[in-house]
Each structure stands twice: as C-alpha cells, then as structure tokens.
Structure 1
Amino acid sequence: MTRTLDPSRRVTASTVRLLLTHGALILVPVILLGVALSLGIRSTAESRGLAEGRSAALLVAQTAVVPQLDGRPLSEGLSRRERAALARLVDRAVADGHLLRLRLRDEQGRVVFSDDHRRDAEADAGEHGGSGENEELAEARAGRVAAMLTRVNADGDDAGPVGAAAVEVYQPLTAGDPAELIGVLETYLPYAPIDAEVQAGLRVLYRDLALGLAGLFVVLLIITLSVSRGLRRELAANAWLARHDALTGLPNRDLFMERVAEAVAWAKKSGQPVVVAVVDLDHFKDLNDTLGHSSGDELLVTLADRLDAAVASSGTVARLGGDEFGLVLRAPRDVRAELARLAAVLREEVEVGGLPLAVAPSLGYVTYAGASTSPQTLLQRAEVAMYAAKAGHTGIAEYATDLERFVAADVELIAELPHGLRDGQLTVHYQPQLDTASGAVVAAEALVRWQHPVYGLLPPGRFLPLAEQTDLIERLTAWVLDAVLAHAAELAARGTPIPIAVNVSARSVVREEFAREVIDALARAGVPASQLVVEVTETALLTNPARARAVLTQLDATGVNVSIDDFGQGQTSLGYLAELPIRELKIDRAFVTGMSGDRARTAIARSVVELGHNLGMRVVAEGVETTADLAAVRDLGCDLAQGFHLGRPMDFGALAERLGGTGVLVGATPD
C-alpha cells in the first residue's frame, strides 16, 4: 500500500509547546504595551493632581486672600490689618490641614508675607526678603498660573527639614479695571489627599488595564494559534500535494522517481531484482470525452484503489499523469504472472454513473538486475515497452533493445513536440491529387512534417503514432488546420482554389467540440467550407460510432467534405457507411500499388469504385506509383489519383507554382 493520508488531517506538533512558544512571543509586546500605558496613566494622574492644585490655589486666592487685601500693589507693603488677617487665615488653614504654606510676593517676586516668617524684618519697616526667582515664579509674574509637585522646604533657600509632599502653585494676583498684577500668591497645598484620590483611580485603571491586557493576550494567543495551526496545516498539505496526486492520493511522478531510486539502491544491496512498470489505459480519453471528466475521475480513483490494494506493501503504485500509472515491484517471483494479475484487476468492470465500464490496460516493464542504469532510464524504458504493448495490442511487453519503433529516442522526440509547435519547427507539405480524365491537379492532401533542429526533416510516421496516444494530437490537429486554411486562402487569392484534405485522428472525430473548432477555423481564415476535406479512417469511425456520426453530420451541414481514408483496411459496416455523410472514399494503397498485374486486387478496387459511385461518392486511388497503376485506376473509373508517380509531397510554394502553370503533372495526361 503506497497511499498516505493528507497530513493536514494529523496533529503535527505538541500543543503545549506551541502554546508556550506563541504565548511567550505575544506576552512580550503585551507587557511592553502595559508598561507604556501605565506610564501614560501615571503621567495623566500627575497632571490631574497639578490641575486640582491650581483649582484649589485659585479658590484660596479668590475667597480668602484677595478679600483681605486693599488692592494696592504688594510692593507698597502690607498694612498691619492685612498682615494680621492673613496670619489668622493661614494659621487656621494650616491647623485644619488644608494648607501647608502660604507666601505673598510682590510684582518683582520678593516675599512680603510668609507663614514661616521668612522675612527678617517687619514688612512695614520696608525691608524685603530674597526674591527667590524660579521658572514657576516667572510664569506667575507673566500672568500665568504655574504648578509643580514638590516637598515642603525642598527649595534651596528654605530652612528646616524637607517636609510632606505638596503641590506648589504660583497664582498671579490682580486688581483694578483693567486688571493689573499686584503680586503673586505662592501656596503649598497638601498632595496626600489628592494623591490618595488619584491612587484610588489609578488602582481601578490598573485593574481594568490588567484585565484588558490579559484579555488581549488571550485573544491574540487564540488568533495566533488558530492562524499558525492553519498555516502549518496548509504548508503540510502543500508539501504533501507536491509529492502526491491530488485526485487519487497516490505518489506523483516526483515521488515515484524517488521510490525507483530507493528500489535500485535496495536491489544493489540485496542482489534481488526490481521491476519498474508503466500502465496506460487504452482509449481512456475517449471514455472521458464521452462520459465527462467527473465520470473519468471517478473511474481513475476506483482503478487506483484497486491497483494500490493489489500491489504488495513493499511495492509502489503512482499516478504519473492522465491515465498513466507507475509500478515498482521488489523481487517478484514471476514478473509476467504478477503483471497479468494486476492487468486482470484493472480489466474488471467498474460501475460509473450506473454504467458498467471496462478498460484495457497496456503494461510495459523493465527489470533491474544490478546493471548500471539510472532511475530515469528505467522509467523511460518501461514507457517504451508500454507503447510497444499498446501498438502491438499484446497487453504486456518487456523492454528489449530491438523495439526500434519505440526506442527512447522516439519517446524523447514526442516530448520535444510541444517545443516544435511553439518554435515554428513544423511545416505542411502537399501531395497533389489529379483528375484521372484531364490530368489536372484538382485537389491536394496536407501532410505535416517536422523540421527538427537535430534530426532534420521528419516524416509524420516518426512522431504522429505516439502523438495520437496523447493530448498532443489535439494541439497538432489545430495547428495543421490553421496552417492549411491559411494556404487555402492564399491559393484562392491567386485564383487557383482547390480542396485540401486534412487527416483527423480518432480522438478528434469523437469530440463534440471538434466540429465547432473546424467551423471557427474556417471563419478565421475566410475560406469556404467546400475547400476543406476532413479525412478519417475506418478505425476512427468505430471508436464511438454515434459520436462520430454527430460530429461528421455537423461538418457536412456546413459544407465540409468528409472522406474515409485507407478504405478496405478496416471493418466498416456497409450499412453504417450508408448512414454517414461521406462524400469521398480513398482506396487503400495496398489495393492500388501494382494492381495492374493482380486480378484479385483489381477486382477489390473495382468493387470499391462501384460502391462509392453507387452511394454518390467521389473515389480517390492512393498509392499510384507507376504509369501502369495510373492506367489501371483510370480504367476502373476512379475520379482522382494520388501517388509518387504523380507527385511527391511538396512545400506550399511548389504547389502554388504548379497550380499557377498548366496544373498538369508530367506523365499524368491521358493517352
């Protein structure tokens, strides 16, 4: 068993460790935030205390001090009445604890009254104490209230021990209209009551802050853990998907190559053989197109489950892509018997959408027995053997060096075909078709060629058979259609329009979208549908007769001619032939080449000609290689002839030149 569970469904780390790690990472910024907020709150509390001190000082000035003064500037001194009244006021306020100290200063900042008897002489004697100028005093002399937190006797010119905490306020005193500065009131208010009230508020704020930060910590921790767990699951899932097929859960090609390398290392160490095999499902593309991709996926999943369950635990089953699977078998007792058993498992019917379906697998394999061969080469050779099994309809094939048609170079060649399409390496040549009566070129067949940068000009036989087993054939057919129709438009512009035949694979003719793609290509090129001939083989028609009939009927309705290529080689029912919108039959070259000396082949060809004419079809003889062949097909009444004797495939320029001349090829004129 090689399938593994998606790791996103499994716990991959210790929850406790994850909690502690993320908790520590979140706690640090939360603590820093708490410290910053605490400092901000304390600063706000101090500002509040100073504001309350200013308010209290203003109240003292307006309700207690100013009423005791007669409104003269304090620089003129205080009267005995004013001094006595202020002394009583201050003594009572200090005794009640509402005031710690009070001083009056004149306009220049000199002390004129102080409850601590700071003046050395009587004010009415005209002797002044020190001015004690500071920033706060300067602010008050300028008309602005100034306040600060301090302690009693904390100033440098104060005597006595440092006392209680206080709010020192400098309040400008004014009188008259307009108001003029008459002095400054310096008060020391007890900070303890203010601080107690502030501290009570701070405790509530700190409690709420702590609760809020704790809640924030919990929320952030939960969010972080959730996001982190999701990201870890996503990363684990992405890592799993990078090495597994999302549809079937099997290892993908990359992981398969690792398993092959591990098996090779095991084989070298143990001396036991290892088998690398590739399995392809014949005609799966046709089933997928007919039933839909969802049904095709369901079929693949079921077959993957069966194959995975049937392979020993020491082996590996992988999906290499599309309908292709890879196998690694360690030390099998009988390779062919084991692969035959696996093929039988795949051939068992599968019910998809209520329909019983059966697929025919083609298996190719190679055995590693200690030779110096890389895993890549082993897979490549298994694919070569698989293509040989598919082409030979043998079901199972072992790699051998004499599989010349399916050598690794050909597999590499088909891998380069997308680059050839993209880089403009493909070209179209044309083989002319002659009217047997006049000898004039009246049609042509398009034949694709590949101008390979290493191997030179390659005929279609080198790459088309393998391309037809993959989706590349669709891209290649679309490219050929566009190229041919562009040439057809150019011929029409030159005044020499002729129908051009394009070969279409079985994959294309059973696709519902194909008819629309052809019609769209004709519209893009501006070419009449009558200038295009779609050639299909009998085998292609038998792949899905109902679908093929629908596609060809749609093409025929637009004016596109449909031709059956290589007629006589397949098994087309004559009744089925009559139901199809066929306009042309092409007699297979096997009945035409050398026909003049063979009575049996002549009789078969004559029957085909009569059949085609009786059904209202045009008949083309391909494979005319000699003058005798040409005379024979003319005598049988074939409408058109095609072959090397009449003209080899040529590039478009040569075809256009021929059509621009007489249009008659040498040796093709009737006697």
Structure 2
Amino acid sequence: MGGMFRIGASPAPWAPRIGELEQQGPAPRRERPLLAAYGLILVLVAAVGLLLTLVTGAFADGVQHPAFWLLAGLAVIADARAFIATGRRGRPVIVCPSLCFSFAILLCWGLGPAIAVQAVAAAVVAWRMRLPVTRAVLMAAQFAVASTAAFGVLALGSEELLETINVGDALRDAASVVGAAAVWLVTYQLLRAGAGLLARNAAPQNVQVLRPVPTYELLFIAALLLLAPVLAVTAYMSVAFVPLVFVPLYAVERMARLAAERDLMARRDPLTSLANRTGLAAAFARLRPNGNEPAHDPGLAMLLLDLNRFKYVNDALGHEVGDRLLVAVGQRLRSAVPEDAVAARLGGDEFAVVAPVTTETDARRLAEAITEAMATPVKLEGLQVDITGSIGIALAPQDGTDFATVMRHADVAMYLAKQRGWPIQAYRAEDDHNSPERLALLSDFRHALQMGEVALHYQPQVDLAGGRVVGFEALLRWEHPTQGPIPPYDLLKIAEHTPVMRMITQRVIDEVVAQQARWLAAGVELRTSLNVSIPDLHGDEIVTQLSERLAHHKVPAELIQVEVTESALTADLAQLRATIEGLAKAGVAISLDDFGTGYSSLQHLRRLPLSEIKIDRSFVAGIAHNADDAVIVRSTVDLARALGFRVVAEGVENRYTARLLTEAGCDVAQGYLYAPAMPGDAVIRWLGHHPTPA
C-alpha cells in the first residue's frame, strides 16, 4: 500500500486532500449505501482479476519461487515497521513502502500474487491503525483495481519482461513499466477521489473537491512504483541483494517526510501550533468550495480576535513570557471552538477562527464561548495576567464570498469593537470606511492635492453679543471630476491614519498662514482656526512647521488657532499632550472641537492649555426643540465659563437658535445664518458689508 496514510478518522480541516477516504469520518447515512456499493464493485473487480490469475496458473507459478516469498515477507514487514512522520495539525502520518514490493511482484509473477500480497499488507496497516475491517477491504480493493489496470498495460507490452537482452526490447519494456506505473497512479487517485466524493456527500459535478494531492506525496508514490523494476531485476539476479533495497527506500521515505513537514510548517504557526494565514485560507476554501456560487455553498463565520494590552505584557515581563501567553491563548482558543472549526494565529497577538456557522446569532455564541474561555487569568512569572480581547465577526456569503474580503470585513468589525470598547462586534457595511470605492476616492484626492486642485474656504465666526466678526475657520473644499463636491467629513474620514492626512495638514498650514499674511497686508487682522488630526499630534513636526511658516510670513502666532477634536483626548494623551503644550508655548491658541461627542474626562479640560470649546452642531441644531440638547448646551457653556474658556457654537442656521445661544451665555457662533464658507480672496469683499472688531 503506497502513499501516506493518516492515523485517525477525521481530516485536518485546514488541509483538504483529494478523495482521502482514510481521513474522513463515517459517511452520512444516506451516502453509506452508495459507498458500500462502490466498495462492492471494487472488490468484485479485484476478485475477477485474482480469479483470472488462478485459472491461468499464474498464481501457482509465482508462489513456487523463493524470491516471491522474500518479497512478500518484506512487503508485510515494511508495513508492519513503517516509518512515522508528523502530519498536518500534528497527526501522525505513516509511510507504507509495501507498494514497491507488490508492484515488483506484479512485474515478476503477475496480477494474482500482487493482489494477494497487497491485501495482506493492507490488513497489517489496518490492524496497526485500528481501522475497521470494511475499511481495510476497501483499501485493498482500490489497490487491486489499480494493479489490474497497470497489468493491462504490461500485457500490451512484453510477456517476458525480464528476459529481454537487446536494446530495442529493453527500451520497449522500460516504456511498458513506466506506462504501467503511471496508469496505476492515475487509477488509484481516481478511485480515492470517487470514495472521497461519496464520503463527503459532495455532488459529482463539484469539481473543486477534486483538488490534487500534495506534490511530495505524488513523488513518493511514483518513487515507490519506479523502484519496483529495480527490485524486480535484483530479485531476478540474486535474492541476496533484495534486502539492500531498504537503503533507497529509507532515503525516499526520509525525503517524503521532510517535504511533508515543510508543507505542514507552511500552514502552521510554529509558536502555537495553530493554523497560520495560509492554513486559514485553506480551511476557508474547504468549507466553501463553491465560493463564487453562494446559493450552492454552506455559509461560514470568520472571527478575528485581537488581544488587549498585549504590548504591556511584553514590555513588563519580556517577549519570552509574552510568547508563553500567546501559547496559552492558542490552547484556550482551540478548546473553545468546535471540531469542525479551525483556529489560527495570524501574527503578533491576532488570532482567527473560521467555522461552519450560518447566522450572526450562532457566530456571537461562538465569540462568547471564546471570550469565556479567555476569562480565567493566566499565571506568568508569579503574576495573574488577565486575557481580554476584541472580536470582529464577518459572515460568508453575506459579508463577502472570498477569503480576502471576509477577512477584511472581520478586521473592520474587530477594530470597531476595539474603538468602542466592546468585546464583540459584527460587521456592518455602514461602518466600513475602507471600501474599494473609498480607496479610489482617496487616490483621486491624493492626486488632487498634488496638483493643487484642493481649495480652502473660510467660514466667519461672529460674536453673539455685538454681532461682530471675530475670526474664521478654514475648511477644505474639493470637487471630484465625476462625483461633484465631496463633503469635508468624508475626505477626512478616508484620509485619517494614512499619509494623505499629513499632506492635508501641511497644505492647510501653508495656505492658512499665507492667507493671513495677505489679509494683514490689506489691513484685516482676524483669527483663523485650522483643523488637525490625531496623527498630526504625534511628534513635534506640526509645531516646527507652523512656527517656521509664521516666521516666514511675519504673521503673529495669536492670529492662528489649532482645533483638536475631542476624540483625540480618548487616545494616548501622554503622547499628544507634549505637542499640544508645544503649540501653546509657540503662542498658538488651542480649541477643543466637537465637544460633547466624545468621552473626554473633565481632568483633560483642566490640564490642557485650551482657549476655546466648540459645541458640536448636533446639539446646537436641537436646542430649539429638544430639552435635553438645551440642557447640554447650557451646562457646557457654564462649565467653559467656569474654566475660563471661550464657547463657540457650530451650525447656527436661524435667528431663534442664535437668540437661545445668546441667552445661554455662548460667546461666538458660526453657520449659514451668517455666511457659508468662502474663498480667501472673497473675505475682504464680504467684510466690507459686515462689521469688524474695533
């Protein structure tokens, strides 16, 4: 029996093979009659082949030779003492070299003796692997049918294979042997494929199930078959040389095992022994072989798990202890997922699971089981280390049909869960700001920035008490060639956390300071606010650039104000605080934008050098008809005044709202009630019709 034979009934879910009946569990009940009929047909074909050799006397002729018994005994011994290698997912792989001996017997003494020896070898393997008798009979029948096909090729060639002496006959015989080996291999693989289709309850037209076996296994079986004629010639010359064949057999087995281990390592994470990204993709393909035809394919769920605060473990206890924590996480993850699911480590502290789950409810149950498995602390270096994480869920085919799309959507859900502080989050298309369309828009926006096609407009800010213009806010404006004007919020959302964001900030700083210089030359001295993102506040580059541009254009620093969104204060404030304080020391005022939409602590307001708080337009718009919004606005104004901050209300669109804000004590307002944002060269003309500060 040639090839590699895995111990255990169930297959490695992330390593599908072509029709491997040996790896499959029990066939579904409705398929068992078909599988039994298939096995019966194979047994009958094998019996016919054996009967023909008995009738013709070929069997009796073979057993009279001592060399036959030597080869037969070595075949059984070889399978009884077969070499063991480590297979995929850690399961043993047994290498059975008996095919070399049985094929040599086929070449020397015909079909009957070969079938009989192979049947005994199959029984030995089945006994060693504790397989049922029916499985052993089916395997022996598969080998018998393959041998019958090979014998047919030999019969078309030479009847006296080993008695040729001239070059022409030798070449013809060599071609017959190679052809017989090829037919044997093809026939055997087709038989395995047929058994596999029945065992997996797959439709015959499902050609994607017929994936090729690994190259190393094909080469191993081919090497066994092509060693057989060498063994046959050796037995024909002298049986004393026959045992020497174990040396090349061992070398072939060794190379096959190393190839199998390399194939395994290509699909396995070496630290946790879970699947890696390649193994996860193989599992996805196995569970959804008809990914392009969702109606004919079962659904599945992909869960992406990212650990919280893993970096702190590495920094505090060292990377070796961090690796031990990852191993513990891998063990718990493996124990939490069902048998038909596959757990993987993608790298770092990121893990994933694919499971044949069709509904979001069931996927959430699996995510909750994983969270519960992680709940018990891990003891490392005498410390109890808690394991928490964020899990993102994506379903196929609802959230995508291919591996890359489903994984990307699970990744989006996972990061959203991390941002919100939730343990579990399912993918929602409306939360995905990284669609191909948005990426294309980002590319177009980058090009527009480089070509100078993005403009800055300025919206006035008006003192509510005196009605005077006290400043402007610089706002991005870009008209896409085909999509028309793109809202600034959408631009900043897709550019955030990309290099384009830094390009935007640099462009805004350069243009705003240059515009201030032009206004000063025209006799206008008004403050201008510009927006910066969270990544801009990491490092002092923005402080350096702003200081250089102010000095170059001879613009006073107090005429520039930097707006920081409240969400920045929920990030790592220790890293951002130094930059914010650097801007304040340079004389630039700091405004806290979108106040009320984030989760900042009051201590941030007290510790940061803020000059202004801007109430988000969502609260301002509701002040006239929503009592809760009115209370929030009044409370914010009172808090800001107590801390000495100026208060600006965004999105003021009618006089009634402006009057309510004035009564609440708000200082400044901006919105369409006063003017939309306008180009910089239109500001001076607009100011000619509106009062300016004294």
User: Normalized against structure 2, the TM-score is what?
Assistant: 0.49
* Structure number with higher helix proportion: 2
Q: Is 1:492 equivalent to 2:500 in the alignment?
A: no
Residues in 1 aligned to 2:316 and 2:439: alpha-carbon distance in whole angstroms = 28
Instruction: Tell me, yes or no, if the aligned pair for 1:503 and 1:535 is still in contact at 8 Å.
Output: yes
From 341, 351, 373, the counterpart of 2:369: 341
Structure 1's 257 and 621: CA in aligned 2 closer, same or farther, altered over 3 A? same
Letter in 1 for 2:505: L
Q: Name the counterpart of 2:393.
A: 364
Identity %: 31
Q: Deviations over 1:400-428 (max 9, x none)?
A: xxx45136x85224544663464235655
From 330, 341, 346, the counterpart of 1:308: 330
Q: Deviations over 1:69-97 (max 9, x none)?
A: xxxxxxxxxxxxxxxxxxxxxxxxxxxxx
Residues in 2 aligned to 1:578 and 1:372: alpha-carbon distance in whole angstroms = 47
Is the partner of 1:595 in helix, strand or coil?
A: coil
Q: Name the counterpart of 1:276.
A: 302
Residues in 2 aligned to 1:295 and 1:428: alpha-carbon distance in whole angstroms = 50
Pairing of 1:428-443 with structure 2 (within 5 A): 428-443=456-471
Residues in 1 aligned to 2:274 and 2:478: alpha-carbon distance in whole angstroms = 37
What is the CA-CA distance between 1:620 and the residue it aligns to?
A: 0.8
Q: Is 1:648 equivalent to 2:672 in the alignment?
A: no
From 492, 504, 514, the counterpart of 1:480: 504
Q: Name the counterpart of 1:419.
A: 443
Structure 1's 264 and 421: CA in aligned 2 closer, same or farther, altered over 3 A? same
What is the CA-CA distance between 1:594 and the residue it aligns to?
A: 4.9
Instruction: Tell me, yes or no, if the aligned pair for 2:439 and 2:494 is still in contact at 8 Å.
Output: no
Instruction: Tell me, yes or no, if the aligned pair for 1:384 and 1:411 is still in contact at 8 Å.
Output: no
Q: Deviations over 1:528-560 (max 9, x none)?
A: 543443333444324445444444333322222
Is the partner of 1:433 in helix, strand or coil?
A: strand
Structure 1's 246 and 535: CA in aligned 2 closer, same or farther, altered over 3 A? farther
Residues in 2 aligned to 1:298 and 1:521: alpha-carbon distance in whole angstroms = 44
Letter in 1 for 2:682: E
Structure 1's 533 and 410: CA in aligned 2 closer, same or farther, altered over 3 A? same
Q: Is 1:263 equivalent to 2:287 in the alignment?
A: yes
Q: Name the counterpart of 1:520.
A: 545
From 478, 485, 509, the counterpart of 1:457: 485
Q: Is 1:562 equivalent to 2:586 in the alignment?
A: no
Residues in 2 aligned to 1:317 and 1:360: alpha-carbon distance in whole angstroms = 15
Q: Name the counterpart of 2:558.
A: 530
Pairing of 1:182-221 with structure 2 (within 5 A): none
What is the CA-CA distance between 1:251 and the residue it aligns to?
A: 6.7
- When Rg is computed on C-alpha atoms for both structures, the one with the higher figure is 1
Q: Name the counterpart of 1:630.
A: 658
Pairing of 1:561-640 with structure 2 (within 5 A): 561-596=589-624, 601-602=629-630, 604-640=632-668
Is the partner of 1:530 in helix, strand or coil?
A: helix
Letter in 1 for 2:407: L
What is the CA-CA distance between 1:484 and the residue it aligns to?
A: 1.4
Structure 2 unaligned spans of 5+: 1-11, 16-85, 87-259
Letter in 1 for 2:395: V
Residues in 2 aligned to 1:247 and 1:429: alpha-carbon distance in whole angstroms = 55
Is the partner of 1:620 in helix, strand or coil?
A: strand
Instruction: Tell me, yes or no, if the aligned pair for 2:304 and 2:353 is still in contact at 8 Å.
Output: yes
Instruction: Tell me, yes or no, if the aligned pair for 2:622 and 2:630 is still in contact at 8 Å.
Output: no
Q: Is 1:552 equivalent to 2:580 in the alignment?
A: yes
Residues in 2 aligned to 1:273 and 1:499: alpha-carbon distance in whole angstroms = 58
From 326, 329, 332, the counterpart of 2:355: 329
Is the partner of 1:625 in helix, strand or coil?
A: coil
Structure 1's 462 and 242: CA in aligned 2 closer, same or farther, altered over 3 A? farther
Instruction: Tell me, yes or no, if the aligned pair for 1:430 and 1:655 is still in contact at 8 Å.
Output: yes
Residues in 2 aligned to 1:381 and 1:657: alpha-carbon distance in whole angstroms = 45
Q: Deviations over 1:179-224 (max 9, x none)?
A: xxxxxxxxxxxxxxxxxxxxxxxxxxxxxxxxxxxxxxxxxxxxxx
| RMSD over equivalenced CA pairs, Å | 5.1
Residues in 1 aligned to 2:392 and 2:346: alpha-carbon distance in whole angstroms = 14
What is the CA-CA distance between 1:305 and the residue it aligns to?
A: 3.7
* Structure number with higher strand proportion: 1
What is the CA-CA distance between 1:265 and the residue it aligns to?
A: 1.8
Is the partner of 2:289 in helix, strand or coil?
A: helix
Count matched residues.
421
User: Normalized against structure 1, the TM-score is what?
Assistant: 0.50
Structure 1's 597 and 329: CA in aligned 2 closer, same or farther, altered over 3 A? closer
What is the CA-CA distance between 1:363 and the residue it aligns to?
A: 1.2
Of stretches 257-266 and 479-488 in structure 1, the one that deviates more from structure 2 is 257-266
Is the partner of 2:355 in helix, strand or coil?
A: strand
Residues in 2 aligned to 1:505 and 1:615: alpha-carbon distance in whole angstroms = 25
Instruction: Tell me, yes or no, if the aligned pair for 1:299 and 1:352 is still in contact at 8 Å.
Output: yes
Is the partner of 2:410 in helix, strand or coil?
A: helix
What is the CA-CA distance between 1:583 and the residue it aligns to?
A: 0.9
Residues in 1 aligned to 2:269 and 2:685: alpha-carbon distance in whole angstroms = 57
Q: Is 1:501 equivalent to 2:557 in the alignment?
A: no
Is the partner of 1:564 in helix, strand or coil?
A: strand
Is the partner of 2:443 in helix, strand or coil?
A: helix
Residues in 2 aligned to 1:300 and 1:619: alpha-carbon distance in whole angstroms = 47
Residues in 2 aligned to 1:546 and 1:346: alpha-carbon distance in whole angstroms = 30
Q: Is 1:405 equivalent to 2:460 in the alignment?
A: no
Structure 1 unaligned spans of 5+: 6-235
Instruction: Tell me, yes or no, if the aligned pair for 1:592 and 1:621 is still in contact at 8 Å.
Output: yes
Letter in 2 for 1:640: V
